[in-house]
Structure formats: C-alpha cells, structure tokens
Amino acid sequence: MTWTEVAEGVHARRYEELDLTTGLVIGAERCLVIDTRGDVDQGAELAAAVRELTDLPWSVVYTHSHFDHSFGTTPFLPCDVWAHERCLRELLDHGETAKAKWSARYRAEGKPEIADALDRTGLMPPDRLVTDRAELDLGGRTVALVHPGRAHTDHDLVVHVPDAGVVFAGDVVEHGPEGFTEYSFSDETHLGEWPGALEAILALGPRIVVPGHGEPVDPGFVREHRDGLRRLNELKAAVAAGASGADEAVAASPYPAGVTRAAFATP
C-alpha cells in the first residue's frame, strides 16, 4: 500500500484487497482522487494517504459504480463527486443491495472487519455528472473525464491526464494474471462494445495506462486485450450461430476456460 508516481504529480496506489488500484492527480490548485475503495474505513485510509502527498482541496471521480471503486467516499466529504450520468442511477437503484451482498460475502469468507465496515458505510451518489466528456482544471493541469463507450459497465469513465500521457482506465482495463478475470464479466458487461472502448483509450495516445486492478501497463497490453476481446466476440458469435460447440470455442479462446465461459455468459 504505497504510492507509485507514474508521472510527475500523477500517482497510483495498489492494494492487496481485490488487487484494487486507485489514483491521484495533483495540480497547482486542486487534486483529483480516482476511486475511493470499498468502505468507510478503506476510504479513510486512502484519504489519509492522499494527505501524505498533498494538502490541496480534492475532487473525487468514480470510474464506475462497483462497490470497491465508489463506496469509500464519505471520509472525503465535503467535495464534488464526478461520475458518468448512468452511474448515479446505478448507485441509487442498486447500491444498498450491493452493499448487503458484499457484506454477507465478506462475513462468509471470514473477514468480519470488512463486513462490519461495509455495514457502517454510507453511500455517496455523484453530484457532477458526465455524459461523454468533461474537463477539470486542477490549476496548471487539465484532466479529461471520458466515457469510452460501454464495456465493463454501461457507465465506465476513464481519466486522461494529457500532459503526463497517463490514462486511469478503471475496469475497462484489468491486469490480472491473464489480463481479465472471471469477475471482469457480469450481466452489466457489454462484451460486443468493449473492444471499441479499448480502442477509444488507445486513441487518447497514452504512454501509461493505470488499470482498475493490478499494476500500470503500456499501450501494447491494451492492444493485446483489445484483440483478445475481439476474438472472444468472434467465438461467442460462432457458438450462437451453431458454427462451433461451446467446448470447442473455449479451447480456441486466448483466455483460460473460466474467464472465457464468464465472457460467453454476458448478455
């Protein structure tokens, strides 16, 4: 749990829990915190860690609504909270359900301290909404919040720091042992559009891409998994058309069987 300075004034912080990676961009007048971890205690830890680097006023941005990225915000208040407009509806409609689900899961896994912290966590819906793109002036540094298209969710938002050549990609990019994991895909995933979202990230011309989970990567990693997702879409379509059996398609996938089957199960 240490900061890595990926560019001047641009930091990533990676956690053992869920291999989550958060971010911080520091300008001359303000700073931007990228994702806030998964509960009130984790958010307080992150807030204290930010204060190790800067005492500037902060804003918060959610890359998407999932609990590990957006439930730790209350220790940062008062501040403005940015997210894609559909993130607001997702948190209002399903945030409390997700909190209860993950609390029960952590309790079943023998991690009662995290479950208790989740039970004490108050959710903070975003109050600054982005449709396609917004720019934040941090003082001498402009940061762009960009919706790259539907991918991991329908409300993914990436954070582009143009002067540093860095993109914080949230879970549109994940750096697990095989790139993606089984948890990358759900009924919220838009598998057919995901390669286009990765193409949109590459079009920003980043030097470094910080994923939502795992260590920072280069554009070559993003291209590799753009192509991998394209292949998954081809294989899924072949199964749907009856041109391939499911087992045959899984065997032909560039990803492990569990990851491939999770991708095939998406809508």
Note the pLDDT of residue 251: 98
Predicted pLDDT of residue 176: 86
Domains in the chain: how many in total? 1
Q: Average of pLDDT values for 41-62?
A: 98
- Quote the pLDDT of residue 177: 86
pLDDT digits (tens, 9 = 90+) for 65-76: 999 999 999 999
Average pLDDT of span 240-248: 97
**The domain that contains 145 carries what CATH number?**
3.60.15.10
Q: What is the mean pLDDT of the chain?
A: 97
Tens of pLDDT, residue by residue over 131-160, are 999 999 999 999 999 999 999 999 999 999
> Is residue 1's pLDDT more than 90?
no
Rounded mean pLDDT, 98-117: 98
Share of the chain above pLDDT 70, in %: 100
- Which residue range(s) make up the domain with 46? 3-264
Q: Distances in Å between the alpha carbon of 81 and those of 19, 100, 139, 154, 172?
A: 23, 23, 18, 19, 20
Residue type present at position 201 = I
Question: pLDDT at position 4, please?
Answer: 97
Mean per-residue pLDDT for 173-190? 93
* Average pLDDT for 43-64: 98
| Residue bearing tokens 């205690």 | 41
d(CA 249, CA 239): 7
Q: What is the CA radius of gyration of the chain?
A: 18
pTM of the model: 0.97
| 204: CB partners within 8 A, 6+ apart | 146, 158, 160, 162, 167
Residues 197-221 have a mean pLDDT of 98
> What totals of helices (H) and strands (E) does the chain contain, helices first?
8, 12
Whether 206 has a pLDDT exceeding 90, the answer reads yes
Q: Reply yes or no on whether the pLDDT at 33 is more than 90.
A: yes
The CA-CA-CA angle for residues 45, 48, 52, to 5°, reads 135
